[in-house]
Amino acid sequence: MNIPQHVAIILDGNGRWAKSKGMPRNYGHARGAKNLETICRDAYDIGIKYLTVYLFSTENWKRSKEEVDGLMTLFRSYTKTCIRTARENNMKVRVLGDPTALAPDLQASLRKLVDSSRDNTGLNFNIAINYGSRDEIVRAIRHLAQDCVDGAVKPEEITEEMFSGYLDTREIPDPDLLIRTSGELRLSNYLMWQLAYTEFYFTDVPWPAFKKEDLLKAIEKYNNRERRYGGVKEE
Ligand code: IPE
Ligand code: IPE
Ligand code: MG
């Protein structure tokens, strides 16, 4: 089987999954975070090199204070656990998104996670937290515009490749496969630049119930796709 090098996942459906069990939404988030640890190991066992997951969008601040507070508490403990699992599983962790809106202690933990795993050579694990594609592109443009003002870059020198280098995903290849769990058929502001030629897979399985076999099913479907990049296949 041809294993995609980079898989991106929109982890969706924690709330609905919890509700279906008569439990509060934050219980779904806790179980979703646990499942993420398992799927990280599974992804690496399968041979995936890059896994990029959407933990919290720039729009998710619109949720109730109770839910946002619960999520931030969960991210604190998740980040700490991840420092350990990154060491045990040789994962190199990167953070996508704008950390400045997060609490200072969470920002510090995330920095520690990135710094302590920098030299690891196993799975490249990217977590998108306070991430929005439009926000990422605007931040990149601001940075690039400043470089133009400073005279480091001339507008006519700007290329797609160079612009990619200003995004949070610099050094990370574009995803080959995007998975969204729990039935919604939209991007919700995820990696819009990077997904230009990615294959999409949608499943009704909610994130906390998404298992290795579901990941394998997605990869099997991906294997039946004929990837094209605007050209036609040679006969
Ligand atoms: C995904 O699950 C996790 C986050 C967005 C933080 P949801 O919380 O969106 O769960 P549903 O979609 O409401 O079921
Ligand atoms: C997308 O899921 C964001 C994350 C998974 C973190 P949402 O549940 O927030 O997306 P919408 O609101 O259904 O589009
Ligand atoms: Mg959702």
pLDDT for the residue 234 = 72
Q: Which atom of ligand 1 is nearest to the CA of 55?
A: 6
Nearest-CA neighbor of 101 among 141, 130, 128, 137? 130
CA of 45 to the centre of ligand 3 (A): 28
In this structure, which amino acid lies at residue 164? S
Q: Is residue 220's pLDDT more than 80?
A: yes
Using DSSP bridges, classify how beta strands 177-180 and 124-131 pair: parallel, antiparallel or unpaired. unpaired
Q: Is residue 148's pLDDT more than 90?
A: yes
Q: Which member of 12, 135, 168, 176 is catalytic? A: 12
CA of 88 to the centre of ligand 3 (A): 31
pLDDT in tens, 68-117: 999 999 999 999 999 999 999 999 999 999 999 999 999 999 999 999 99
Q: Is the CB of 16 under 6 A from ligand 1?
A: yes
Q: Is the CB of 10 under 6 A from ligand 2?
A: yes
Query: Over 149-207, what HEC string results?
Result: HCCCCCHHHCCHHHHHCCCCCCCCCCCCEEEECCCCCCCCCCCCCCCCCCEEEECCCCH
pLDDT in tens, 199-209: 999 999 999 99
pTM over 0.85, yes/no: yes
CA distances (Å), 184 to each of 41, 82, 172, 222, in order? Answer: 26, 28, 26, 19
**Whole-number mean pLDDT of the chain?**
97
> Residues of the chain with pLDDT > 90: what percent?
98
* Residue nearest ligand 2's atom 2 by CA: 12
Q: Give residue 67's Cα distance to chain centre.
A: 20
Check if 60 is active-site.
yes
Q: Which atom of ligand 1 is nearest to the CA of 11?
A: 1
Spatial distance between the Cα atoms of 102 and 203, rounded to a whole number of angstroms:
31
Spatial distance between the Cα atoms of 109 and 102, rounded to a whole number of angstroms:
11
Q: Which member of 42, 60, 120, 174 is catalytic? A: 60
CA of 181 to the centre of ligand 1 (A): 10
CA of 131 to the centre of ligand 1 (A): 15
Q: Which residues pair with 126 in a beta bridge?
A: 52, 94
Length of the chain as a residue count: 235
> Residues of the chain with pLDDT > 70: what percent?
100
> Which residue among 10, 16, 60 is best mutated to probe the pocket of ligand 1, counting the most ligand atoms within 8 A of its Cβ?
16
> Side by side, which strands form the sheet with 124-131?
92-96, 124-131, 50-57, 6-10, 177-180, 199-202
